[in-house]
Amino acid sequence: MMRFRLRQAITRKAVVAAGLCFLAAGFGLFGPLGLCAQDKGPVWSSDEKPIYDQIKKLRTLPDDVRATTTKALAIQIRGLSNSPNRLLLANALANLSTEGDQGSDTLREVATTLADALSEHPVPADHGKPAVAYMELAALVCFEHVQVSLDNPQFTEAIEAIDAAQVTREQTDFTLADLNGKNWELRGLRGQVVLVNFWATWCPPCRREMPDLDALYQRFKDQGLVVLAITDEDASKVGPFIAARHVSYPILLDPGRKVKELFQIEGIPMSFVYDRNGKLVAEAMDMRTEGQFLKMLAQAGLQ
């Protein structure tokens, strides 16, 4: 679902309890985790507070330092003894761990920590659907290809929900107009490699990946790469933003969020790569680096 991911079209991951909302205030996260919604926020112990403070600062760190710090924090969270805030910290760390390329070792530690916290502090379903923390863990497994062990029906349902969404995205089609009024139809682009990217002007990870995405578009457009960047914001806001950044790939407008709902986007950025036959071959639930985008495009035959 930051992994603006698996969450409510705000920042990929969200958190529902007021306790998590309090924690999320430091990360720009919102939404349900399935915890006590009446709390005014967690009270941090002397062991928890330093971890909380470091998580808040992760985005300020250089990429290599951020990766090693994230890995260390995951291990520290697992070491908290019977902490009622362990799941809050584990979910918040997981939410930020997929921004960019932090390495498989880091993601494995983060996923293990979240699974361990959910095993110790299982949370109820959210109106019959898996709670956000289970969706977060399932996203790490499905999109980042890490392996965890968690015997919980909500986790199983979360995996199945992501798989079902992927089938829908494989089969779907849409037509949207870009900022210049030109219509783009996804299925009408067969024969080309298409990268569909959901983004917004207010989303920091979205803004960060745009230069790399534009550079790759310039590099591969003559080989048949089409980038369709979709936003549900108004053209009056998007137009000046794009002009100031000299983005060259098409920016599509999704009034009413119809395509976003069709793709079941609950957090941004998210990206999907279709090969020349229209097959969905790669997807990302968060910000990608140029190297990560290159690996996704390679799965569609672009080298």
- Give the whole-angstrom CA distance, residue 232 versus residue 265: 12
Query: Environment class of residue 246 by beta-carbon count within 10 Å: exposed (0-12), middle (13-18) or buried (19+)?
Result: exposed
What's the pLDDT score for residue 24? 43
41 neighbors 106 (Cβ within 8 angstroms): no
Element (H, E) at 225: strand 225-231
Across the chain, which has 303 residues, the per-10-residue mean pLDDT values are 36 37 39 41 91 96 96 97 89 96 97 96 93 95 94 96 93 96 97 98 96 97 98 97 97 96 93 97 95 97 93
- Give the whole-angstrom CA distance, residue 138 versus residue 130: 10
- Give the whole-angstrom CA distance, residue 203 versus residue 9: 10
What backbone phi and psi angles, to 5 degrees, belong to 90? -65, -40
Domains delineated in the chain: 18-165 (no CATH), 175-298 (3.40.30.10)
Nearest to 275 by CA among 226, 219, 236: 226
What's the pLDDT score for residue 114? 97
What's the pLDDT score for residue 12? 41
What's the pLDDT score for residue 41? 74
What's the pLDDT score for residue 68? 97
Cα torsion at 293, 297, 298, 302 (round to 10°)?
Answer: -130
What's the pLDDT score for residue 17? 35
Dihedral sign, CA of 240, 241, 246, 248?
negative
- Give the whole-angstrom CA distance, residue 268 versus residue 57: 20
What's the pLDDT score for residue 287? 96
